[in-house]
């Protein structure tokens, strides 16, 4: 991993958890300087991993907190006077595992399948505008140019698509939801008029 890739990895996988890491370490250290030292030691340990060890890690969040706990234990062991309570807490602390459970994974896949089915059932222009706007993040102006329609029509297609998706998703889940009243501009006949 070159330095640019390592910096991107550090920002994406590690530094985003710094606030939580400091909060976690504050349970064991009262002094801010001790917390800072353990955070830096943890980062140094992670950056010193070779590529083989890095590729073996499946959950960087859990690995970060485990490494921090190990660095904290090492620091506590090096001090002359150690509180028995601090060591007892360190051993009983469970690192938060943020990997989804099997039930969460199945639910997420079912929700995605339902959303894909719902989007596929939308009228063609509406589906195209919604997909380009929400999935690909294109601006309305560019979508209007691609589809050969007015920007206001793109906005109407996207709003209509989002509303239909929400209604159909709630209906298929069996949830009772009062639909929002349609917000149609005066003089606009319907979504299919400008297809």
The answer to whether the beta carbons of residues 96 and 61 sit under 8 Å apart is yes
The answer to whether the beta carbons of residues 160 and 191 sit under 8 Å apart is yes
Angle at the Cα of 31 from the Cα atoms of 25 and 34, rounded to 5 degrees: 60
Tens of pLDDT along 26-46?
A: 888 888 888 899 999 988 888
Separation of first and last alpha carbons in the chain: 50
Based on the domain organization, do 189 and 129 belong to the same domain?
Answer: yes
Based on the domain organization, do 88 and 113 belong to the same domain?
Answer: no
* Domain housing 163: 102-194
- Domain end position, chosen among 68, 92, 116: 92
Domain count along the chain: 2
Q: Is pLDDT of 178 > 60?
A: no
- Domain end position, chosen among 61, 92, 123: 92
Based on the domain organization, do 120 and 146 belong to the same domain?
Answer: yes
Residue 179 is assigned to a structural domain of this protein: yes
Least confident of 36-40, 44-48, 152-156, 188-192: 188-192
Question: What is the pLDDT at residue 193?
Answer: 46
Residue 97 is assigned to a structural domain of this protein: no
Based on the domain organization, do 74 and 114 belong to the same domain?
Answer: no
């Amino acid at each position: 991993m070159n330095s640019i890739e390592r910096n991107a990895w550090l920002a994406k996988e590690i530094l985003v958890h710094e606030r939580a890491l400091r909060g976690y370490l504050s349970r064991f250290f009262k002094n801010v300087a001790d917390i800072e030292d353990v955070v830096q030691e943890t980062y140094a340990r992670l950056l010193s991993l070779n590529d083989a060890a890095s590729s073996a890690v499946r959950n960087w969040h859990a690995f970060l907190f485990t490494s921090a706990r190990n660095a904290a234990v090492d620091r506590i062991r090096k001090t002359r006077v150690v509180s028995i309570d601090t060591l007892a807490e360190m051993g009983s602390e469970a690192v938060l595992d943020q990997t989804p459970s099997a039930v969460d994974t199945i639910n997420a896949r079912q929700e995605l399948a339902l959303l894909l089915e719902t989007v596929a059932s939308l009228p063609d222009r509406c589906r195209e505008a919604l997909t380009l706007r929400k999935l690909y993040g294109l601006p309305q102006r560019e979508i209007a140019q691609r589809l050969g329609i007015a920007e206001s029509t793109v906005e109407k297609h996207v709003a209509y698509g989002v509303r239909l998706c929400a209604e159909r998703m709630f209906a298929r889940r069996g949830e009772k939801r009062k639909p929002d009243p349609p917000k149609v501009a005066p003089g606009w006949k319907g979504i299919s008029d400008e297809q």
